[in-house]
Amino acid sequence: MLDRTLAPPVQPLVSVTLPAAELITLPGGARLYVLHNAAQPVVRLQAIFRAGKLAEPKPGLALLTARMLLEGTPTRSARQIADEVAFFGASVECEAGLDRATLTLYCLTRHLPTLLPLVLDVLTVPAFPAPELAQLQTRTVQNVQVERQKTAHLAGEAFNALLFGAETPYGRPFDTEGFAQLTAADARAFHAAAYGLGSAEIFLSGDVANVQAAVAAAFATATNTQAIRENSAPAEQPEAHVAPNAAVVRVPLAGSLQASLRMGRPWPGLTHPDTHRLNLLAKVLGGYFGSRLMRNIREDKGLTYGIYASVAPRERGTTLAIGTDVKGDQADFAIAEINSELRRLQEELIPEEELLTVKSYVLGKFANELSTVFEQVDKYKTLVMLGLPADYYTTFTQQIGAATAAELRELARQYLAPEQMQVVVAGPAA
């Protein structure tokens, strides 16, 4: 008879194999990655371009161009685009990140052939109408001004500028004056240079068996394929030199009762041989609800509702960031306690039970993130966009399972020295 007072046994995740995507190189040069799953009659189509902040010739131009794609074409107004997408119960958006710009369409499978002309219209012949451009600039500037009244936003901007340099794409704060001066001509020139379909990485996933050919034909016959493809596997960047942190950078915000902390440093990229162990170490420090930082800063000291430590991989620089919000007069105390946890990881071995718990959490969360075809494609996209080996996730499960407390302590001694952490506090002037 089943004893319901006993928890079921936990089976370790030994290995994982992502479903293989079919790769089709289209005549214009675009690469189409197809992953079939007929569980639900839905599809996701993503077209990704090297048109993020890293590629923009003027600050803010990547964001402006991406958001203007849905604001009208020679044959469709912004209202018509929105109405057509809504009529078919679909969703479409285009956003620019640090490295890439992505157009994403979700729809029922049977509606994809009907919506393909709209997608190609948006990608190939955006009109950049003046009224919509001016409205977008005004809304964006106003939103940034509102965000800059929040300590978390100010701390994030200052932290990125500190790590990467305020004049670099990754570290440059948003320039509201420069953004307001961008023109439709600027957007057209950037679109012509960065959005050629010949350079696109296209990911089609879901119930796609009956629409795959239509997607391939549509993108193969589109006209603007002139952009030259760069090597999509970014070269591994040399590990940044970390100068000793002499002082805390403080960003005052008048009238604020809260302080936002950001601490961190450049971090080895995902192709580094210790990347999986380093990510496990970050989880122990602050990557889940029972982490060291949560137990100390939240549970024991009551300084915050939440605190995290996370690794942010980018094509041209990966970082470790620790972040939290505390009362304005508790910021220095919180920094001291964070440094104490960093030193503990350098000096003491992680107890076996704690290490097993974190391993189980990491592997279990990873398995849960593969539950839908769209999540599987997101993992596959990481391999493509960051130039990772095909066995990356297999190596991940193996190294997480085999990691020892002694290995993690040695990595902590190498990468978690408090004096190598850059620290930003945004909050009360005093």
Q: How confident is the model at residue 317 (pLDDT cuts 50, 70, 90)?
A: very high
pLDDT at 311: 97
| Structure tokens given for 337 | 């306690």
Exposed/middle/buried for residue 320 (C-beta within 10 Å: 0-12, 13-18, 19+): buried
pLDDT higher than threshold 60 for residue 319: yes
Scan for tokens 């075809």, then name that residue: 373
Distance CA 267, CA 137 (A): 34
As a whole number, the mean pLDDT across the chain is 92
Distance CA 423, CA 83 (A): 47
Distance CA 182, CA 150 (A): 26
pLDDT higher than threshold 50 for residue 347: yes
Question: Mean pLDDT, to the nearest integer, of 155-169?
Answer: 96
Distance CA 299, CA 315 (A): 36
Question: Mean pLDDT, to the nearest integer, of 348-352?
Answer: 98
pLDDT at 4: 81
pLDDT at 232: 43
User: Distance from CA of residue 69 to its chain's centroid?
Assistant: 21
120-157 in b/e form (b: 16+ CB < 10 A) is bbbbbebbbbeebbeebbeebbeebeeebebbbbbbbb
Enumerate residues 6+ apart whose C-beta is below 8 A from 80: none
- In the chain the domains, ranked by start, together with CATH numbers, are 22-221 (3.30.830.10), 249-427 (3.30.830.10)
SS (H, E, C) 230-262: CCCCCCCCCCCCCCCCCCCEEEECCCCCEEEEE
Of the candidates 205, 170, 198, the one whose C-alpha atom is nearest the C-alpha of residue 50 is: 198
| Structure tokens given for 90 | 């679909």
* pLDDT tens digits, 228-241: 445 444 444 444 44
Question: Mean pLDDT, to the nearest integer, of 185-210?
Answer: 96
* pLDDT tens digits, 351-405: 999 999 999 999 999 999 999 999 999 999 999 999 999 999 999 999 999 999 9
Enumerate residues 6+ apart whose C-beta is below 8 A from 360: 10, 12
Q: Is the dihedral of CA 170, 174, 178, 179 positive or negative?
A: positive
* pLDDT tens digits, 85-122: 999 999 999 999 999 999 999 999 999 999 999 999 99
pLDDT at 429: 83
- CA diameter of the chain: 75
DSSP code per residue over 7-48: PPPPPP-----PPPPEEEE-TTS-EEEEEE--SSSEEEEEEE
Under 8 Å between Cβ of 326 and 155: no
Question: Mean pLDDT, to the nearest integer, of 264-288?
Answer: 97
| % of the chain beyond a pLDDT of 90 | 88
Amino acid making up residue 107: C
Residue 227 has phi, psi (to 5 degrees) of: -65, 135
